[in-house]
Amino acid sequence: MEEKEKGALVKVEKNEPSRRDFLRGAFTVTAGGLVVFTGIATPKPQVAIAQEKPKEPPKDVYKYLFASRKYCTGCRSCEYACSLKHDKVVRPSVAAIHVKRFWGIVDVPVICWQCDDPAPCIKACPTTPVAIKRDPKHNGITYIDKKTCLGGKCNKCIEACPPQFLSRHPDTGWPIFCDTCEGEPECVKACKEQAGNDLAPCLREEKMGLGVNMAYKEVKVADAAKDLLMELFYPSKGGR
């Protein structure tokens, strides 16, 4: 069933603002989202969008990852891919994406929401000038100024992070930020590779750039785990 749905999904242009806002609304209303989304994104308007594609992405468009949490198998291949890309080693403890397993049953992928202004981590940063910067390319929060960041002496951004995403680098003490690999996230590719044969990937390529899964936004990790646990009790077939 999921495979079919995936086939029907159309890759929507990533940086088209009006469309993004519209879909974001759609996700807020429908938690399940998928079916509605499939219905809207028929191939027809895509042609129109392709023609209207702006040359420079507008400044207020952020790159996000989109995680359909219920498909996460907890394989951590996203963590592997992330550390391989940024540190050239397999080391999940420095990855800018985390998978937390609860009760041995549910797995919660924890991703950066790339919050709108004012981003809580930037707001919480006590240094002058503020050490946490937005990437001017796509406005996502991507890096820290290692000269000004207080590193292990300060915990403000980690405490302020609403998705509880920020973690500390085990060697340097600096917080680890997600740069979405300049728009081509390795974690999404790795997730896609792991999935298949009756299981859809958790990190959705076709929904990247549209935003964080709004159905899950403002949900803490532990609450997300409880949601996923409750979801087990709904009728559905074969873990899909």
Output the smallest distance, CB 67 to other proteins, in A: 15
Residues contacting 129, CB < 8 A, separation 6+:
145, 148
Find the helix or strand (DSSP H, E) in which 143 lies. Answer: strand 141-144
Find the helix or strand (DSSP H, E) in which 85 lies. Answer: helix 77-87
Output the smallest distance, CB 120 to other proteins, in A: 21
Q: How far, in whole angstroms, is CA 111 from its chain's centroid?
A: 5
Output the smallest distance, CB 56 to other proteins, in A: 36
Is 43 strand, coil or helix?
helix
Residue 32 or 196: the one with the smaller Cβ distance to other proteins is: 196
Residue 35 or 230: the one with the smaller Cβ distance to other proteins is: 230
Token duo for residue 228 = 């996923």
Residues contacting 229, CB < 8 A, separation 6+:
102, 103, 105, 106
| Residue corresponding to tokens 């790159």 | 63
Rounded to 10 degrees, what is the CA torsion of 90, 109, 190, 58? Answer: -110
Residue 39 or 239: the one with the smaller Cβ distance to other proteins is: 239
Radius of gyration over every alpha carbon of the chain, rounded to an integer in angstroms: 18
Output the smallest distance, CB 145 to other proteins, in A: 24
Output the smallest distance, CB 221 to other proteins, in A: 8
CA distance 187 to 233: 29
Output the smallest distance, CB 170 to other proteins, in A: 4
Residue 200 or 210: the one with the smaller Cβ distance to other proteins is: 200
Residue 23 or 106: the one with the smaller Cβ distance to other proteins is: 106
Residues contacting 161, CB < 8 A, separation 6+:
120, 121
Return residues touching other proteins (CB under 8 A): 70, 73-77, 80, 84, 88-94, 100-107, 170-171, 193-194, 196-199, 229, 231-233, 235-239
Output the smallest distance, CB 46 to other proteins, in A: 30
Residue 102 or 143: the one with the smaller Cβ distance to other proteins is: 102
Residue 74 or 183: the one with the smaller Cβ distance to other proteins is: 74
- Name the nearest CA neighbour of 151 among 134, 126, 133: 126
